[in-house]
Amino acid sequence: MSVSVKAVRQCTLSSATTSRTTPTPTPTKHITFRCCTLTQPLKRSIENQPMKNLERLLDPIDYNSNTFRFTPRPVRLGKRWKEYQGIQNWDGLLDPLDDNLRDEILRYGEFVEAAYKSFDFEPSSPTYATCRFPKNTLLDRSGLPQTGYRLTKHLRATSGINLPRWMDKAPTWVSTQSSWIGYVAVCQDKEEIARLGRRDVVIAFRGTATCLEWLENLRATLTHLPGDDGSGAMVESGFLSLYTSGTTMLPSLQDMVREEINRLLQIYGDEPLSLTITGHSLGAALATLAAYDIKTNFKRAPMVTVISFGGPRVGNRSFRQHLEKQGTKVLRIVNSDDLITKVPGFVIDEDDDVSNKGDVQMAGLPGWIQKRVEDTQWAYAEIGRELRLSSRDSPYLNSINVATCHELKTYLHLVNGFVSSTCPFRASARKVLSNHSKEKVQI
C-alpha cells in the first residue's frame, strides 16, 4: 500500500552555507539491476500465479532505477580529516549537517552502491552470487571512474547454516553457501591522497542477496563473541555466522579481512592512514563486526571508522562499550521510516544517543528488571553516533513503504537533501531524485 506524502517547505541555506558550491549530480545511463535484502518484505500476490512462479518468491526483486552520480566537491580536508572521520564523534557536524561531511558520506555510499552493481543477482546465471567484474575495472564499470582508489581484494561471506540433505535437489541459487559480499580498495592517487589528508582504505559491503544470507538474518538472538574474556559482549548470531564461517575450500570473511589488512599495514603502516568500513543493511552489520575485529587483532591499526546505511542492530551494551574503548568510530545513517533500523530485539539503555520513536524501549524500569532483561538474548544497544533522517521530510518521494524507505538510493537522496532537524530538506536536492519520485517498486 502506498502512503501519500505531502510536500514540505523546502529549506534555503544561510549565506554562510550557500557560498559553498553545491555538488551537481551527473546522471548515468538507465540500467536495470536486481536487489534483494532482508528488508524487502515478500509481498507479491501469489493468487492465480502458475506454480513455477511460486518457487521464485525468494528471488531478487527486479526494478528499474536511474542512478545518479554524487560528484563530491574538490574540498581539501587536510589536517581536519580526523574530524570528519569522527575523532570527536562528529560533534557540531551533524545538526546542521556539515557540507564536507555530507560529501564524505555520499562518497562512501557510492562505494557501497558499486558493490551492489558488481554482484551477479541472476539465479539462472552460471556465475550467480559472484562478482561480475575483475578488480582492475570494477569501480569504472560500476559507475565510479576516477576515484583515485584501486581494488586490492575481493571479499566473500559464507553461511554457517547446515543444510538438510534434501536441499541437494533444490535449485542451486537456493543453497548457495558462499557469495561475493564486497571488496577492499586503497587510495593510490597522489592528488586525492593530498586532498583527503591521508591515504584511505575502504572496505565496502553490500546488503543481503542470497537465500542463506536471508536465513542468517533471521537468527536474531545474541551470542557471545569467540574468545570473549567474560566481558559479556554479544552480537547477533546470524551476522557473526556470516562473518566467521568458512569451508575447507574457502576462508571465512574474517580471515580474508585480517589477511588483507595485515598486508596493507605492512605496506602503508608508517604513513597517515585511515580505514573506512561502509555498508548497507546486512553490510552495515558486517562493517561493524569487521571494525571490532580489526581493532581487536591489530595493535597498530589506524583510525577505524564505520559509516553505515540502514543497518540493523548488531550487539548488546557490552559490545558497544568494547567498540568505544577501542576507539572505533561509528556513524549510523538512519531513516526513521525504515523498519530494519528498529530490529532485532529491543533497547534497554537510557543513555543511547537517540531514543527511537516506535522502538521497544526498556528505559525507566527498575534496575533489577533491566538487569534481568539485559541477561536475555534479545537486549540490544544502539551503537555509535546517529544521523537521523526521514523519508517524510522529502517533498520528492511520493510514496512510503518498507522497501523504498530502506533502499540505498533513498538514503543517499535523504543525506543529499538534509540540512538540519529544524530545516530538514534543501531545494537543490530535487536534482537527485528528478526521476526517482516517479518510480514504482513492485514487490
Catalytic site positions: 281, 338, 406
Q: Residue 52 and residue 182: Cα distance in Å, rounded?
A: 32
Residue 228 dihedral angles phi and psi, to the nearest 5°: -60, 135
Neighbours of 6 (CB within 10 A): 6
What type of residue is 203? I
Burial class (CB in 10 A: 0-12, 13-18, 19+), 148: middle
DSSP 315-329: B-HHHHHHHHHHT-E
Verify cis geometry, omega within 30 degrees of 0, for the bond prior to 96.
yes
Q: Residue 75 and residue 156: Cα distance in Å, rounded?
A: 34
For residue 125, give the C-alpha cell. 546465471
Residue 13 dihedral angles phi and psi, to the nearest 5°: -85, 150
Q: Residue 85 and residue 231: Cα distance in Å, rounded?
A: 28
- What does DSSP assign to residue 227? T
Q: Residue 120 and residue 390: Cα distance in Å, rounded?
A: 31
The strand pairing partners of 224, in sequence order, are: 234
